[in-house]
Amino acid sequence: MGDVKVSCERVTSALSDDDLEMLCEAALAGILDGGGFGWIRPPSRDVLKRYFEGLLLVPERNLYVVRENGIICGAGQLIRPPASYEAHAATVTLTAFFIAPYARGRGLGYQLLTTMLNGAKAIGCKVVNCDVRETHTQAIRLFRSFGFEEWGTHPYYARIGGQTVRGIFLSKLLADDHEASEWRFTPDTGATNHPARRALTLYPAIDLKDGACVRLRRGEMDDATHYSDDPAAQAKTFADAGCQYLHVVDLNGAFAGRSVNYSAIEAIVRATDLPVQLGGGIRDMEAIERWLSTGVERVILGSVAVKDPDLVKQAARAFPGRIVAGIDARQGKVATEGWAEVSELEANDLALRMEDAGVSAVIFTEISRDGMLAGLDLEQTAAMAKSLSIPVIASGGVGTLEHLQALRDVAQEVPGIAGAIVGRALYDGRVQLRDALDVFKAC
């Protein structure tokens, strides 16, 4: 597979005829697929051209486009309030955000949203608001992965095809740590105030050994508990319960240095519509390309992050938004080769290197706690999240509902924490899946 170049930009001058044609083509495809501009049926190309040309004449509207190998494949807009709206001067509305259907699944949405949020920061905005049809699940998932908080729904948001569609309202606070306390809403009730809780993502774990679902204690292959011979059925159970993502690890692959549980992983991907993040033994571009083309949403690079950082950079450029760094540590020191080897590299140092390499998120596991049900290492997780601008997913040690509540409480002060991976506690019944999902929902 050749190098894929993705670029994003704010449009500050008239588009060339070719660019305008490409933008209209992408927009028409997006409208036919379910919207993006409010049109139910696609307008004529001339109408679309006039629409985009007119945007550049409105100072309050900033148009952004994303390109793949120079071809415009999507766009979005930031709308600033009029200058006379002093109370709203630091807010901006994100709207008309779309990626053409033929270009989805390759990280373009991630890159476009990253560029737009950086653009909002550059003009001094502290809050980004947006609203999305409830049926646009991929867009909602993307916004949530960036820390957007869901604060309400509109029961009569749109009327499409004879059906009423609900809308979801989302906001993201861009203020830095010093400013955040000034921006968080505290109701004037006379009672003790608590910051609004932010939704986190629960990642149920499916760890594969010899084709079966197992859980290890402290990463020891000889200390595995067998839970199910049907990983696909387990994936469907998680999906039916309301999970939004699956975390899958090929344990044999992690120790062998190459993927092993092919059949089980492919069966999991086919079993549900949930996105899957996969780790374990993926250590070259061929393996990365294979799994992403098979239907895996994100690939987790662990040992190779330490031993071949250039590969991580290459993969992050080729598949923006779809490469995650898995950082496993014992007492703060990075472990590799299926946790069999411990280096002298500090976990936080590796996390910063991975951010520079372009990964979309970091999964942090304190191995000494993994499978022990003693609770997450909140201190290390929070310290890592504070040092990064990309999301951190906590892993290792969840044993009770209180452990998830503790992470949720920490995440209110450390927005970079995006969720947690839970395995043994779910399988043992120590944590009920529905209760765990409720803890992580926004209140």
Phi first, then psi: what are they for 385, rounded to 5°?
-60, -35
pLDDT at 195 over 70: no
As a whole number, the mean pLDDT across the chain is 85
Where residue 218 falls (left for φ over 0; alpha for ψ -120 to 50; beta otherwise) is left
Helix (H) or strand (E) holding 415: none
Kindly name the residue from 250, 328, 370, 377 that is annotated as catalytic: 328
Q: List, in order, residues 6 or more apart from 181 with CB less than 8 Å away.
A: none
Is it the case that residue 56 has pLDDT exceeding 50?
A: yes
> Residue 284 in 3-state DSSP?
coil
Q: Strand, coil or helix: what is 301?
A: strand
Q: Is 230 an active-site residue?
A: no
Q: Which of 207, 250, 370, 377 is catalytic?
A: 207
Element (H, E) at 96: strand 91-99
Catalytic residue list contains 356: no
Q: What is the CA radius of gyration of the chain?
A: 22
* Confidence category of residue 276, pLDDT binned at 50, 70, 90: very high
CB distance 109 to 74 below 8 Å:
yes
Q: What is the 3-state secondary structure (H, E, C) of 332-382?
A: CEEEECCCCEEEEEEHHHHHHHHHHHCCCEEEEEEHHHCCCCCCCCHHHHH
Place of tokens 């949203």: 113
pLDDT of 105 > 60? The answer is yes
Of 353, 275, 274, 280, nearest to 321 by C-alpha is 275
Give the percent of the chain with pLDDT over 90.
44
- The per-residue pLDDT for 341 is 47
Residue 426: is its pLDDT beyond 60?
A: yes
Tokens of 287: 């393996």
Give the model's pLDDT for residue 222.
55
Query: With 90 as the cut, is the pLDDT of residue 57 above it?
Result: no
Q: What is the mean pLDDT of residues 116-142?
A: 89
pLDDT confidence bin for 64, thresholds 50/70/90:
very high
Rounded CA separation 350/391 (Å): 15
Domain borders along the chain are 6-183, 201-440
DSSP 117-135: HHHHHHTT--EEEEEEETT
> Rounded distance, CA 209 to CA 222, Å?
11
406 CB burial (10 A radius; 0-12, 13-18, 19+): middle
Tell me the CATH number for domain 201-440: 3.20.20.70
Domain 6-183 has CATH 3.40.630.30: yes
**pLDDT-derived band of residue 150, with 50, 70 and 90 as boundaries?**
confident
Query: Which one has a higher pLDDT value, 222 or 145?
Result: 145
Closest alpha carbon to 249 in 205, 291, 287: 205
CA distances from 188 to 25, 185, 193, 225 (A): 49, 9, 8, 51
- C-beta pairs of 345-353 under 8 Å, 24+ apart in sequence: 345/306, 347/380, 347/384, 348/383, 348/384, 348/387, 350/305, 350/306, 350/325, 351/325, 351/327, 351/384, 351/387, 351/388, 351/392, 352/387, 352/388, 353/305, 353/309
